[in-house]
């Protein structure tokens, strides 16, 4: 297999996480980085070179970088997706020889944007990878392998529950529903919906095998709508939740149908930005007839204790865990978070797929289906009704639907005192 020269677009939080993951993957190097503003790219490039992960030349724009790399990865904010893909496609039309294109979750903020993303890559026949790391988590894959005989003999999993929660995002644009696409449902619901769908899918079937039948969801603004907390948001990030609120809690249930057996199965999701505990927690469990699994990312083999007297020495609590909220007491430490969350595995999959000239396991078309499920969840919460996805009228409506929260009209559906 040839070494894939990757060009990274965006040099923030997730780009750094991917650099840590790439250190654990063979046949890939970070050949180029471009970002707006450029300073972030210079800092990341330094880190990449220090760890011997690639040449990481800093380019001033995408067009320039596209001529020197084999594939590009979009690690920039959600609101910049379309203009970035337009630039990439333009570069390919002018002769850049790209094998593939990667996009971090979510693919888009709504269906018109998702359709435009697909239309653009299809116009130049680019192979795609939609980065949903949780589908690649080793604990998820290990339970599937371990329970394969049970799935075969007793029958498939019937119910999964997936959640991702932390205390709130690190950058202002995530909090702004118009730029990000909504609140926690758009940001993290896409993870839990994807991993729930994948977990229920019989192990020998492709990721879109189970047919989504209906979605029922609820969204609420709980903690970050309280006066003292929304003042904090305004002061720290310049986002005013009295004017343009977003949900900090969501939960819902999606029903799927096995097209071969007709069996119906259910995936519940819960996400919040108000998890005032140790840091990021991923929780997944599943029930089959006569068997079950459970995953909790806060259960680490490593715990450390830092007493008050020694706490001043702890410079960076996030060294222990993503979104960690404490730097003293009994701390749960994940020594290899990138691996725990599935980043090296999703990168490996994309490298192998692009080398073979195919889409990754999760293509952008799959990302589009996740966007549709997220939109159906917003529609359900707005209407306080279950959305029947077998109804052609609902399918048509979802194609143009933009949630009120995303439009900046969250006051109409979220309670703000
Ligand atoms: N898989 C995961 O668990 C996970 C975790 C975090 C973020 N993400 C996703 O990754 C993406 C980036 O998130 P982040 O946390 O790194 O955000 P961030 O704000 O930390 O970093 C974004 C980077 O993009 C740059 N940028 C902004 N506009 C740009 C543009 N038009 N062109 C090029 N670069 C631009 C910024 O300067 C910054 O370097 C988001 O879509 C987010 O949903 C995924």
**What would the pLDDT profile of 112-134 be if each residue is shown by its tens digit?**
999 999 999 999 999 999 999 99
- What average pLDDT does this structure show over 324-346? 90
Task: Provide mean pLDDT across the span 220-234.
Answer: 97
Tell me the two tokens of residue 269. 């999701």
Same domain as 42, residue 113? yes
Q: pTM (2 decimals)?
A: 0.97
Range of the domain at 347: 4-133+343-362
Cα(77) to centroid of ligand 1, in Å? 4
Q: How far is the CA of 234 from the centre of ligand 1 (A)?
A: 21
147 and 276 within one domain? yes
Same domain, 64 and 102: yes
Q: CB of 369 within 8 A of CB of 135? A: no
353 & 281 share domain: no
- The pocket around ligand 1, CB under 6 angstroms, is made up of 9-15, 35-37, 40, 75-78, 80, 84, 104-105, 133, 171
Distance from residue 355's CA to the centre of ligand 1 (Å): 26
Three-state secondary structure readout of 25-69: CCCEEEEEEECCCHHHHHHHHHHHHHCCCCCCEECCCHHHHHCCC
70/217 same-domain check:
no
Q: Are 349 and 384 within one domain?
A: no
Residue 358 β-bridge partners: none
Asked if residue 36 is part of any domain, the answer here is yes
- CB of 84 closer than 8 Å to CB of 62: yes
pLDDT digits (tens, 9 = 90+) for 161-210: 999 999 999 999 999 999 999 999 999 999 999 999 999 999 999 999 99
Do 161 and 230 have their domain in common? yes
Q: Does 263 lie in the same domain as 156?
A: yes
Same domain assignment for residues 174 and 269: yes
pLDDT value of position 138: 98
Q: Which residue has the tokens 């048509």?
A: 396
- Assigned domain for 310 exists: no
Round to whole Å and give the CA distance between 60 and 41.
Answer: 10
Distance 143 CA to ligand 1 centre (A): 31
Could you tell me the CATH number of the domain that includes residue 287?
A: 3.30.360.10
Domain membership of residue 322 (yes or no) is: no
In a domain, 400, yes or no: yes
- We report the CATH number of the domain holding residue 107 as 3.40.50.720
Q: Is the peptide bond before 225 cis (omega within 30 degrees of 0)?
A: no
Q: Within a domain: residue 250?
A: yes
- Residue minimizing CA distance to atom 43 of ligand 1: 105
Of the CA atoms within 13 Å of residue 372, those in its CB half-sphere come to 22
Q: How far apart are CA 260 and CA 64, in angstroms?
A: 48
Same domain, 152 and 82: no
- Asked if residue 321 is part of any domain, the answer here is no
Shared domain for 88 and 62, answered yes or no, is yes
Q: Are residues 296 and 216 in the same domain?
A: yes
Q: How far apart are CA 364 and CA 152, in angstroms?
A: 30
In this prediction, residue 417 carries a pLDDT of 79
What percentage of residues in the chain have a pLDDT greater than 90?
89
The pick from 21, 43, 75 for probing ligand 1's pocket by mutation, whose C-beta has the most ligand atoms within 8 angstroms, reads: 75
Q: What confidence tens digit (pLDDT) does each residue in 4-53 have?
A: 999 999 999 999 999 999 999 999 999 999 999 888 999 999 999 999 99
| Residue 78, C-beta contacts closer than 8 angstroms, at least 6 positions apart | 106, 108, 109, 173, 179, 180, 181, 186
**Termini Cα distance of the chain:** 58
* Residue 329 lies inside a defined structural domain of this protein: no
98: nearest Cα among 157, 31, 44: 31
Question: What local confidence, expressed as pLDDT, does residue 316 receive?
Answer: 64
User: pLDDT band for position 317 (50/70/90)?
Assistant: low
Q: Let me know if residue 328 belongs to a domain.
A: no
Give the residue, out of 43, 76, 364, with the most ligand 1 atoms within 8 A of its beta carbon, to mutate for a pocket test: 76
Do the Cβ atoms of 292 and 279 come closer than 8 Å? no
Pocket test for ligand 1, best of 7, 9, 11, 13 (most atoms within 8 A of CB): 13
Instruction: Give the integer Cα–Cα distance in Å for 178 and 405.
Output: 8
The residue contributing the CA closest to ligand 1 atom 8 is: 14
CA of residue 103 to ligand 1 center, whole Å: 10
Query: Quick one: pLDDT at residue 309?
Result: 76
The number of domains in the chain is: 2
Q: For residue 405, how far is its CA from the centre of ligand 1 (angstroms)?
A: 21
């Amino acid at each position: 297999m040839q070494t894939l020269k990757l060009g990274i677009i965006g040099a923030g939080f997730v780009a750094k996480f991917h650099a840590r993951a790439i250190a654990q993957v063979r046949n890939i190097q970070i050949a180029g980085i471009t970002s707006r503003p450029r300073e972030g790219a210079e800092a990341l490039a330094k880190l990449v070179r220090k760890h011997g992960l690639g040449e990481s030349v800093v380019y001033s724009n995408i067009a320039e970088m596209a001529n020197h790399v084999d594939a590009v990865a979009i690690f920039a904010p959600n609101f910049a997706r379309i203009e970035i893909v337009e630039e990439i496609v333009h570069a390919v039309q002018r002769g850049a020889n790209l094998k593939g294109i990667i996009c971090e979750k979510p693919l888009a903020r709504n269906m018109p944007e998702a359709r435009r993303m697909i239309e653009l890559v299809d116009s130049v026949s680019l192979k795609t990878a939609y980065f949903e790391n949780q589908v690649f988590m080793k604990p998820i894959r290990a339970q599937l392998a371990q329970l394969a005989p049970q799935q075969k003999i007793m029958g498939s999993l019937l119910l999964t529950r997936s959640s991702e929660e932390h205390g709130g995002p690190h950058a202002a644009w995530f909090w702004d529903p118009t730029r990000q696409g909504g609140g926690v449902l758009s940001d993290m619901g896409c993870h839990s919906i994807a991993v729930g769908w994948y977990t229920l899918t019989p192990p020998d079937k492709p990721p879109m095998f189970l047919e989504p039948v209906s979605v029922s969801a609820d969204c609420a603004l709980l903690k970050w709508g309280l006066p003292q907390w929304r003042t904090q948001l305004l002061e720290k990030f310049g986002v005013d939740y009295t004017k343009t609120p977003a949900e900090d809690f969501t939960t819902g249930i999606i029903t799927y149908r096995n097209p071969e057996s007709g069996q119906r199965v259910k995936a519940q999701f819960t996400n919040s930005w108000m998890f005032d505990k140790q840091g990021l927690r991923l929780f997944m469990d599943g029930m089959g007839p006569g068997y079950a699994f459970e995953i909790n990312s806060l259960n680490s083999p490593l715990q450390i204790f830092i007493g008050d007297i020694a706490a001043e020495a702890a410079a960076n609590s996030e060294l222990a865990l993503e979104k960690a909220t404490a730097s003293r007491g009994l701390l749960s430490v994940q020594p290899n978070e990138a691996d725990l969350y599935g980043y090296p595995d999703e990168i490996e999959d994309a490298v192998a797929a692009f080398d073979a000239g195919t889409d990754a396991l999760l293509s952008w078309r799959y990302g589009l289906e996740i966007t549709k499920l997220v939109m159906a969840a917003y529609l359900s919460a707005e209407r306080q009704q279950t959305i029947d996805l077998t109804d052609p009228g609902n399918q048509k409506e979802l194609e143009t639907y933009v949630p009120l929260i995303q439009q900046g009209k969250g006051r109409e559906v979220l309670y703000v005192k």
